[in-house]
Amino acid sequence: MADTTRDTWWGYTEEHGWIILDRTIERNVAGASKGLLFLRCSDLKLFEVDWDEWCPPPYFYAPNYIESLKSNPSKQAVASAEFNAIKTQEPKFCDEIHRQYKDIMEAESKKKRQELEKKHRTFLESKNIIYRGVSCVSEKKHTRVTHCWNCKNPLDNSIDLECKSCGWILCSCGACGCGYNKTI
Ligand SMILES: [Zn+2]
Ligand SMILES: [Zn+2]
């Protein structure tokens, strides 16, 4: 049965064959800063395409691709049968996209945390303060400050690491509350 809550785009390219784009993942919504993630149906591999490149050729909308084969009826019949068969597996493809996307997002946030932790160490070293580690913020605390005292930039709400010494949520520059009173 057709699932009307799905929002997908089916396509065909000479290089990849049948491909599917799931617009329910953040990366595939207009305005996302990174490229689109398509799934190649033949081997269930996600691959990235720049927004600018997503147009024919090489990225044909599947029904248009089939339509374009009308001068070759036998090829068109094969393509049409292939597409109809593959479309019935849409839920499987969408699940696969979401599974792989989750892994990508987890790897990215892990990398972001590691980079921030390194900046935090460097920040503390520059202030001659001992590094006592960072921990994940389990629940968002209300913070009085909206700007970082060190770099003056607005604090990034997506950061969920805090300094074990002072309990402040880290700024993207690596600063916490350590050294705050001494310098101001
Ligand atoms: Zn800062
Ligand atoms: Zn601190």
Spacing, Cα 138 to ligand 2 middle (Å): 17
Write the DSSP string, 137-148.
Answer: -SSPPP-S-SB-
Spacing, Cα 26 to ligand 1 middle (Å): 27
Ligand lying nearest the CA atom of residue 167: 2
Q: Model's pTM, two decimal places?
A: 0.76
pLDDT range class, residue 182, cuts 50, 70, 90: low
pLDDT range class, residue 154, cuts 50, 70, 90: very high
pLDDT tens digits, 102-143: 999 999 999 999 999 999 999 999 999 999 999 988 776 666
State how far the Cα of 166 lies from the Cα of 155, in Å rounded to an integer: 16
Spacing, Cα 124 to ligand 2 middle (Å): 8
Instruction: Judge contact between 117 and 134, C-beta under 8 A.
Output: yes
Average pLDDT, the chain: 91
Q: What's the half-sphere exposure (Cβ side, CA atoms, 13 Å) at 6? A: 20
Spacing, Cα 179 to ligand 1 middle (Å): 13
Q: What residue has token string 């972001």?
A: 112
